Each structure stands twice: as structure tokens, then as C-alpha cells.
Amino acid sequence: MIRQVNHCAHDWLISLTQQDDESELDLILISAIQSVLFGTKLIIYINKFLDHTHRPKQINLKKTQSPLILSDDQVDEIIAKVGSNKIHIGEINSKTVTYFPIYHFGDVLGFVLAYGSNEFSNPQISTAVSILNVYANQLFTLFRAKIDPLSELLNRQTFDKKIQEILSGQGFLSPRTPIPADSVWHLAMLDIDHFKRVNDQYGHVIGDEVIILIARLIKNSFRSEDYVFRYGGEEFAILFQCKKSEDAFQVLERLRSAIEEFEFPQVGKLTISAGFTSLVDYEMVPALVQKADLALYHSKNSGRNKVANFDQIAESTNGILITGNDPELF
């Protein structure tokens, strides 16, 4: 039994370190932990943001859907327990459970909750701990690869994949917060107005500071379940949910106003222009970006410091039709 666990652990650890896709990494973790802690029912919670501001959320086990949904208070209580005692035995809903923490450099990122059997052997425990440590390290590596180092937003390389995941409904995390069923995803493109003047007049160090501050203002204006990207240079992209386009417009308008009112050190006042479109039907990513970009260009060409909805522009200009990757104007 010990030899079998150790042999399988070697294969799982290699598989974990070879993954460059977060969803595949989760699948291997689920398979490995289920094999090591066989005969038990499992729940896996993980904070994919790797920070101290977000609460761990459950990984969806798909066909082996976990039998328990924990409240936020229960999650916080478990994190506190495993943070001080490492592996911990407790009770939930009158069932005895074992908690295995997921650590990374001393921080508790999440935990595995196992119940149905609590007589784990030392090889099972050590193997599970090793798997969770390697998983956390690889998760951190993948996370850093998705982050723009200057703004600390998601980077351009992550953008296409995230839209595809949203449109296809993929991903192994259950929703971070309850989202109304009738909500619609929207894509917004934002650009700092006259940013070249900032670099020319104050230098690139001040220009970088402006990007950092605007990135923070954008991130603070959206919820944890939304996605904010530095698309390139002074341009940003946002994927967010609202029930109606009118609501999306108001969200972006509040952001535009907040940036307009902000006092940037040395630079003073700055503004942004924005354009957005809804992701109602499946389309190729370049076509969706092009719609949001056309709305952004409309904002800039009509005076800047504005928010434009692609659908309204298309109606007012007697139609802008996008087929494939190219705009067709008529």
C-alpha cells in the first residue's frame, strides 16, 4: 500500500509541475487527492487570487460534485483552524471531518475537507500534503504568468482565453459571489486620453505611476467576479456582468467620472475614453474586441472623456456590420 501511494505520488507531482493551464491543474489535483484519500467525500476550497482580501471559493468537482456547500463563516472558521494547527480534525453538520490546509510560503490559500473516514495512514497524509504544496506552488507560478507586472492587472496574454472561457462556460470555480441568472457579460475597452503628453512632459516614470493609479481606480470600481486587464500601453479591457446595457453604461460612466475627479500627483487631472459591447451571442474574440474598439474610437472622435455603447453607435450610423475579423461599413 505504501509503495503504491509513493509511486502514484511521484507521477502526480510530475503532472502538477508540467501544467500550464489552471483548469487542467485543478483536474489533476482533484484526481490525485481523490486517489490518495480514497473512501472519503471531498470538498476543495482555494483562493485563486493568492491574496488576503478574497475568501477561498470551492472548486467545482463536476461529476463528483461535493455534497456540502459551506457558508462564508464556516470557510473563515476552517481557515483560522488550519492556519494555527495545520491538519485539523473537526465537525460539520454532525459529521467528523479532516481539514488539510493548502499552504504557500506560510499563507493559507485554502483547504481540502475530507469526511467519511478519518483513519488516514502516515503515507496518505504525507502524500496529500506534498501534492497540495506542489499544487499551490504551480498555481502561484501560473498566477504570476497572468499578471502584468506594472499595473498588477491581468495581462494581454490572459485576455483571449478568459473571453473564451466565459463564452463556453468553462472553468472549475463556482461563482465567487451570487450572480443573477439574467446577467449578461459585457466587454469594455478603455484608453487614457492624451497619455503621450504625460510621457513627453513628465517622463515615463510618472507615466508608469499614472498607469498604476488608473489600474487601481478601475479595479476598485468593479467586483471580484469581474476581470480587469491591461490590454497594452495605456489601454485597458474589462469583462463584467450587468443585466442591461444601460446598467453597464452607468458602471462605466461612474468610473469615467471617478477618474476625471482624481488628482494625479504632479500631472493633475486626466480623463479616459471608453467603449463597450455585450457578449450576447458567441463570436470570435477579434470580432468582439473590434466592436468595443469601434465604440472606444467613437468616444475619442466625439471629444474624448466619454463612454459609448457599440449597439447604439451601430443604430445611429445606419449599421456597422462585423463579419469575421474585419469591419464592413455601409
Contact 87, 130 (CB under 8 A): no
Active site residue 22: no
Q: How many CA atoms lie within 13 A of 38 on its CB side?
A: 5
Three cell numbers, residue 221: 470600481
Which residues pair with residue 115 across a beta bridge? 41, 97
In angstroms, the CA 254 to CA 259 distance is: 9
Kind plus residue range of the DSSP H or E element containing 252: helix 245-261
Which DSSP symbol is given to 68?
-
Contact 109, 56 (CB under 8 A): yes
Residue in 22, 77, 209, 234 annotated catalytic: 234
SS3 call for 31: helix
The C-alpha cell 480587469 sits at 228
In angstroms, the CA 95 to CA 226 distance is: 35
Torsion, CA 35, CA 37, CA 42, CA 48, rounded to 10: -70
In angstroms, the CA 75 to CA 21 distance is: 26
Which DSSP symbol is given to 174?
P
Supply the residues annotated as catalytic.
234
